[in-house]
Chains A and B, each alone.
Chain A
Amino acid sequence: QITLKESGPTLVKPTQTLTLTCTFSGFSLTTSGVGVAWIRQPPGKALEWIAFIYWNDDKRYSPSLQNRVTITKDISKNQVVLTMTNVDPVDTATYYCARRLLVRGQVLDPWGQGTLVTVSS
């Protein structure tokens, strides 16, 4: 069974750095083709893709966020970490991580339960 779970702070002040961790089980980020993505969803709004990291350490970022986000992996801990600098209230959202399905394209399945992050002073 494949599971992913997000963790991190629920409240962050503006200008601070947000660090979120995705801990997964049931698959390995050393297997060819495997990837993990971060996606966010502001309250009441649509989904927004943030970043991808792959088994070969290839990384992809959303152009609108690439100057502020970094994605890394820790194979030994089965974790993927997202760091977002200089956060703003508009970054308030539920943050999800998801595994890339091993099919053509960047299909996400399954997803973690999500973690709500509020940016406020």
Chain B
Amino acid sequence: EIVMTQSPATLSVSPGERATLSCRASQSVSTNLAWYQQKPGQAPRLLVYGASTRATGVPARFSGSGSGTEFTLTISSLQSEDFAVYYCQQSNNWPVTFGQGTKVEIK
């Protein structure tokens, strides 16, 4: 099973600042990596798939990069609605696995 490790666990950022979230896979997942956003009491929402393709309707301030074992989700200028938990997910190998999440909180 591929283990996905996200860092940091919590990221404190001021509105308007840049946030950089990391996701590391225990073995290569090529670019079969997706990012999801989850707000309290809500279902996850797809942000990025294929490591760098934004999902429909996702603002351009969200960008994904990486391949192999190292991935990054960058939020260029945090808006109030971006404070949430972010999960990465690999689907290069079965079973599909998620990271433990990074909580982006207001500094």
* Chain A residues packing against B (C-beta within 8 Å): 37, 46-49, 52, 60-63, 96, 101, 103-114
Contact = CB atoms under 8 A, between A and B. Distances in A.
Contacts of A108: 34, 36, 44, 46, 89
Given A46-B100, A47-B89, A105-B92, 16 more contacts: A47-B36, A47-B44, A49-B98, A60-B95, A63-B95, A103-B53, A105-B32, A105-B49, A105-B50, A105-B91, A108-B34, A108-B36, A109-B46, A109-B49, A111-B44, A112-B43
A110 B49 CA distance: 13
A61 B95 CA distance: 7
Contacts, number: 67
B96 A49 contact: yes
A61 B1 CA distance: 13
A61 B32 CA distance: 19
B44 A96 contact: yes
16 contacts: A46-B98, A47-B44, A47-B87, A49-B89, A49-B97, A61-B95, A96-B43, A103-B50, A106-B96, A107-B91, A108-B34, A108-B44, A109-B46, A109-B55, A113-B43, A114-B43
Size bracket of the B interface: 20 to 34
B95 A49 contact: yes
Nearest to A106: B91
A56 B43 CA distance: 27
Contacts of B36: 47, 108
Contacts of B100: 46
B59 to A, nearest CB: 16
Contacts of B98: 46-49
B64 interface: no
A57 B85 CA distance: 33
A97 B13 CA distance: 32
A89 B49 CA distance: 33
B39 interface: no
Name the residue in A46, A48, A104, A105 with the highest tally of chain B Cβ atoms < 10 Å from its Cβ: A105
